[in-house]
Every structure is written in C-alpha cells, then in structure tokens.
Chains A and B, each alone.
Chain A
C-alpha cells in the first residue's frame, strides 16, 4: 500500500462541464504526478508537482490545470471536459528513490 488514494474512481460527465480529480497521499512526499493512460499511448505525463504551489507541465498539459495547496493533495482540473479527455487517470508519488508509486486510477468518461 503506497498511501495514495484517488477520487472519484469512476466518473461520467458531459462535454463542457468542469471536472476535478483528487489525489491524496499520506506519506508527505515532495513529488507528485498526474498521468493519463490510453491504448497505444501508454502513460503520458500531464502535470507534476515538486512542492506546495510548485508545479510544471508535462507532455499533454493542454486542457488541464493542477493545484497543490497542501503537501498531501494534488488536484487535476479539466475546466471544460471534452470527449478526447476520456481516459484513465493515474496519480503517482516519488519516494525519493526514483521509483513511482501509483494510485488505483480514476476512469473518466466524457459523453
């Protein structure tokens, strides 16, 4: 158990609505990440954080924003969801060993 929880685990929403996914860690680690997983693309980095209020863009950041006001929480927001954002979203932490530990994933469907 890596001490990471994601919520919600499943969500169905409509195009144009805002969506926020939450990642919560219990271990007080500095680095947190949001990835999306799609068939044929593997995992693609959306945004990552290296501390409270310190975030940076990944490979596919367009259409997404993040916030980290507390060490334990890393929020991913889709301001206006589109069908192309239908995916499985994974949060991960880095325990300063280089290894990433992943949450169980959040499956988002945008109709």
Chain B
C-alpha cells in the first residue's frame, strides 16, 4: 500500500518570496504523483503531475515539482508567490500496479500568502 506525508500543515510566506511545500511518499511499487490545489470554498483541481519521463514537471502558473526516487519525494516549489496562491495544497500518489487504481492523498498544506 502507498502512503503520503506532508510535514508542513501550514506555511505562511510573504508575497513575492519563494516557497517549498514538502511531500514524501512510500510505496512498494512504481508510482505516479500529483499536486492538487483547493482554493477557498472550491473543489480540488490538478496543479501538476508526474507519470513518467522528465522528473521535473511544471504548471502553467509558475509552480514546479521534482520527482526524486531515491528520497521518495515530490516537493512543490514556486520562486515568487502571489496573493492568489493562497490555498490548500494536496500531494497524491497512485500505484502503477495494473492500471490507475486507488489514489491516496496527503493531509494537505495550507499556504497563506501575506501581503
């Protein structure tokens, strides 16, 4: 079975400062990884994903994450945050067992951008 750890439950950061949200996973099989974002009073939406290939993946709004197999990590980074990035961020892992079956989420990190 797979599991996901997000060590930081809350991350306050000043506007235009860099940020890193940490995600570690465990799995006995190969995995695929995601970051989802939930803005206040909204549903979840995909931010970025790693399925295979290049270990560095990027989103359209400036976030990036790097898959590190040796450290079993998939940390999310942004060099300069905006007020609009305030949201809950969830790391998720799925196991490449037979196909796309169950996807497990971490507990989430609440990012608060301070003006």
Report whether B104 and A59 are in contact in the complex, using a CB–CB cutoff of 8 Å: yes
Residues of A contacting B: mostly: strand
Residues of B contacting A: mostly: strand
Task: Tell whether A74 is near chain B: CB-to-CB under 8 Å.
Answer: no
Report whether B44 and A56 are in contact in the complex, using a CB–CB cutoff of 8 Å: no
Closest to A57 in B: B102
A-B contacts at CB below 8 angstroms, number: 60
Within 8 A of B (CB), among A75-111: 90, 94, 96-100, 102-105
The interface residues of chain A lying within 8 Å CB-to-CB of B44 are 43, 90, 100, 102
Report whether A99 and B46 are in contact in the complex, using a CB–CB cutoff of 8 Å: yes
Task: Tell whether B43 is near chain A: CB-to-CB under 8 Å.
Answer: yes
Binding site for B on A (CB under 8 A): 31, 33, 35, 40-45, 48, 50, 56, 58-59, 90, 94, 96-100, 102-105
Binding site for A on B (CB under 8 A): 6, 9, 32, 34, 36, 43-46, 49, 51, 90, 92, 94, 99-108
